[in-house]
């Protein structure tokens, strides 16, 4: 049997470094064993999935040097590789589960479910669907359906006993069936949930080894149960540790840049970033930590995957990137990379157009435009403060703008302007009273070239990071504030 692994990203946001880390491990294992590596898009969340995000993920993984044997962009014998295009397949499988009595229709309202969970938590019970709709007779179900009451399909779970999950590195893990939820398998919009789609697809795509994030460990029993219901052989499972922030919490963009696009915009080289991720899962040769993909593949061994969640240590990435910059490039290749990074003609042209009206000597260019060629800019709380806003409003403005920028589906000066106008409106102040700190946070100075264009040219990832730094300089945002402002 040939080894087949997969990476199954969900196109609901920026391409995450964690996705690249999991992809790298799946890639190396497959290639080391002469197998195939598959990329599948898990876009069953219709509200959040976008084609832009999907494209960005594919592009980013390619940028890093990873490639796949089958996927939505390259095709393959087990397609389609986009779950939104496989609805009919899931529907059939749900019908089978229903027919075999391994799943049931549930008409409960979200309100009832909320109340139920609150009560369970209050009495220290595991949160789990209470099975109300399992007692519905066929007649009652038919009647509700005829009345057009929306329903979901849930997984039937044994009331007693334990489920044994065999993890390739962790060994035998026992989980009580009583603590496993009767998971929704098909949503009321007819789309499958991850749990169903992932099992059906892994089987149909003949995936032999599932290496995925540790966050999936507790739902493994549901997946195993589905394999059993369908009469399929489950794949080998291995749950990978999650990448961490320096404070050991799960790597999150609130605390750290997580987007591959950010690292690209900062001027990290793809080989260095991939090498860095490799250091977290492949043991390098004695005394030399520089590894390219073929070497990482060759040295890859399951036994060397550590189970402790590694901190994403940017300092070490910096060192590695520096080595790539100076050791793996001659001057010509270095210049070419620097040019591609920041001096590409169209970008330079836009920047020049902003500067031309504002300078008297060409030598004014350096100080005026330096922030376009920097990663972070140094700012102090004092520089950020503005007479028209108190500290709380100031932080709120930065936070709201950050959220607003993240929510934009297109990145044009007009969109950027709209976000800032909305921020001003929500703070009930004039636009010009709110923009000053943004000049400081983004360009490093209160007097600079136009803000919207600067934000546009710098790009979403650098801007997000500069706003995050500004917020941090101002003392950070409390979780209470986050909750309040999110309304």
328 forms part of the interface with RNA (CB under 7 A):
no
Question: Which residue's structure tokens are 């920097």?
Answer: 374
Query: Please, which residue, 315 or 363, has the CB nearer to RNA?
Result: 315
Task: Based on the shown chain and the rule CB under 7 A, indicate whether residue 311 belongs to the binding site for RNA.
Answer: yes
Spell out a b/e string for 364-386, using b for 16 or more CB atoms within 10 Å of the CB, else e.
eeeebbebbebeebebeeebbbb
Alpha-carbon span 204 to 200, nearest angstrom: 6
Kindly write out the interface string for residues 129-158 of this chain, putting x where it contacts RNA by CB under 7 A and - elsewhere. ---------------------x-x------
Residue 419: other Cβ atoms inside 10 A: 20
CA 226 – CA 197 distance, rounded (Å): 11
In whole angstroms, the minimum distance from the beta carbon of 48 to RNA comes to: 6
Task: Work out which of 191, 261, 400, 458 binds RNA, going by CB under 7 A.
Answer: 191
307 binds RNA, rule: CB under 7 A: yes
Alpha helices in 205-259 (DSSP H): 220-230
Locate tokens 């334990």: which residue?
Answer: 162
The per-residue b/e assignment along 285-315, b for 16 or more CB within 10 angstroms, e otherwise, is: eeeeebbebebbbebbeeeebeeebbbbebe
244 is a contact residue toward RNA (CB under 7 A): yes
Minimum distance, C-beta of residue 219 to RNA, in the bound complex (Å): 6
Regarding 313 and contact with RNA (CB under 7 A), the answer is yes
3-state secondary structure of 410: coil
Binding of residue 216 to RNA (CB under 7 A) = yes
> Which residue, 69 or 289, is less far from RNA as judged by CB?
289
CA distance 236 to 227: 12
Tell me: does residue 10 bind RNA (CB under 7 A): yes
Q: Which C-beta is closer to RNA: that of 148 or that of 171?
A: 171
By rule CB under 7 A, what count of residues binds RNA? 69
Ramachandran category for residue 377: left, alpha or beta (phi over 0 → left; psi -120 to 50 → alpha): beta
> Among residues 322, 339, 367, 450, which is the contact residue for RNA, using CB under 7 A?
322
Whether residue 36 lies in the annotated active site: no
Pick the catalytic residue: 31, 36, 105, 253?
253
With CA atoms as reference, report the closest residue to 255 among 264, 243, 245, 263. Answer: 245
Name, in order, each residue with C-beta under 8 angstroms of 91's C-beta and a sequence gap of 6 or more: 186, 190
Site for RNA in 37-96 (CB under 7 A): 42, 44-45, 48
Q: Is 188 in the site for RNA (CB under 7 A)?
A: yes
DSSP code at position 156:
-
Tokens representing 23?
């992809």
Interaction of residue 250 with RNA, rule CB under 7 A: yes
Give the closest residue to 434 by CA, choosing from 382, 377, 386, 380. Answer: 386
We find the least distance from the C-beta atom of residue 459 to RNA, in angstroms, to be 24
Query: CA torsion, points 459, 462, 466, 469, in degrees to nearest 10?
Result: 150
275 binds RNA (CB under 7 A): no
Among 4, 6, 8, 237, binds RNA (CB under 7 A): 8
Could you say whether residue 421 binds RNA (CB under 7 A)? no
Q: Which residues of this chain interact with RNA, rule CB under 7 A?
A: 8, 10, 12, 42, 44-45, 48, 109-110, 113, 117, 121, 124-127, 150, 152, 170-171, 173-176, 179, 181, 184, 187-189, 191, 193-194, 214-219, 239, 242, 244, 246-250, 279-281, 283, 286-287, 289, 303-304, 306-311, 313, 315-316, 319, 322-323, 326
Name the residues annotated as catalytic: 253
């Amino acid at each position: 049997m040939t080894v087949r692994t997969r990476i199954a990203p969900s196109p609901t946001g920026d391409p995450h470094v964690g996705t690249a880390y999991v992809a790298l491990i799946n890639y190396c294992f497959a290639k080391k064993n002469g197998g195939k590596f598959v990329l599948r898009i898990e876009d069953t969340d219709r509200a959040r999935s976008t084609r832009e995000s999907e494209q960005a993920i594919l592009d980013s993984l390619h940028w890093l040097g990873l490639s796949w044997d089958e996927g939505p962009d390259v095709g393959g014998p087990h397609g389609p590789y986009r779950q939104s295009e496989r609805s009919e397949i899931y529907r059939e499988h749900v019908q089978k589960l229903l027919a075999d009595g391994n799943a049931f229709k549930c008409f409960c309202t979200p309100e009832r479910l909320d109340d139920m969970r609150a009560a369970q938590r209050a009495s220290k019970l595991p949160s789990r669907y209470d099975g109300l709709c399992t007692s519905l007779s066929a007649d009652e179900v038919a009647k509700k359906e005829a009345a057009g009451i929306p329903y979901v399909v849930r997984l039937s779970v044994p009331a007693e006993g334990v489920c044994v999950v065999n993890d390739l590195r962790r060994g035998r893990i026992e989980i009580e069936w009583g603590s496993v939820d009767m998971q929704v398998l098909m949503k009321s919009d007819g789309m499958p949930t991850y749990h169903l789609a992932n099992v059906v697809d892994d089987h149909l795509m003949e995936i032999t080894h599932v290496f995925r994030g540790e966050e999936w460990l507790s739902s493994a029993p549901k997946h195993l149960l589905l394999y059993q219901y369908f009469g399929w052989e489950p794949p080998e499972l291995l749950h990978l540790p999650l990448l961490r922030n320096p404070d050991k919490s799960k790597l999150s963009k609130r605390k750290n840049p997580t987007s591959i696009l950010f690292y690209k915009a900062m001027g990290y080289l793809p080989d260095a970033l991939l090498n860095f991720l490799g250091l977290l899962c492949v043991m390098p040769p004695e005394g030399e930590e520089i590894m390219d993909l073929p070497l990482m593949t060759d040295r890859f061994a399951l036994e060397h995957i550590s189970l402790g969640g590694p901190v994403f240590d940017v300092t070490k990435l910096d060192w590695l990137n520096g080595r790539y910059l100076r050791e793996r490039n001659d001057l010509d290749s270095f210049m070419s990379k620097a040019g591609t990074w920041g001096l590409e003609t169209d970008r330079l042209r836009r920047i020049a157009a902003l500067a031309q009206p504002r300078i008297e000597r060409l030598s004014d260019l350096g100080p005026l435009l330096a922030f376009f060629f920097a990663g972070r800019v140094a700012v102090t709380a004092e520089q950020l403060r503005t007479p028209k806003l108190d500290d709380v409003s100031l932080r709120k403005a930065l936070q709201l703008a950050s959220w607003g920028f993240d929510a934009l589906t297109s990145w044009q000066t007009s969109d950027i302007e709209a976000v800032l106008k909305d921020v001003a409106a929500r703070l009930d102040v004039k636009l010009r009273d709110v923009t000053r700190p943004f000049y400081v946070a983004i360009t490093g100075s209160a007097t600079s070239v136009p803000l919207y264009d600067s934000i546009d040219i710098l790009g979403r990832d650098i801007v997000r990071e500069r706003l995050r730094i500004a917020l941090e300089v101002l003392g950070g945002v409390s979780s209470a504030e986050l909750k309040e402002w999110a309304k």
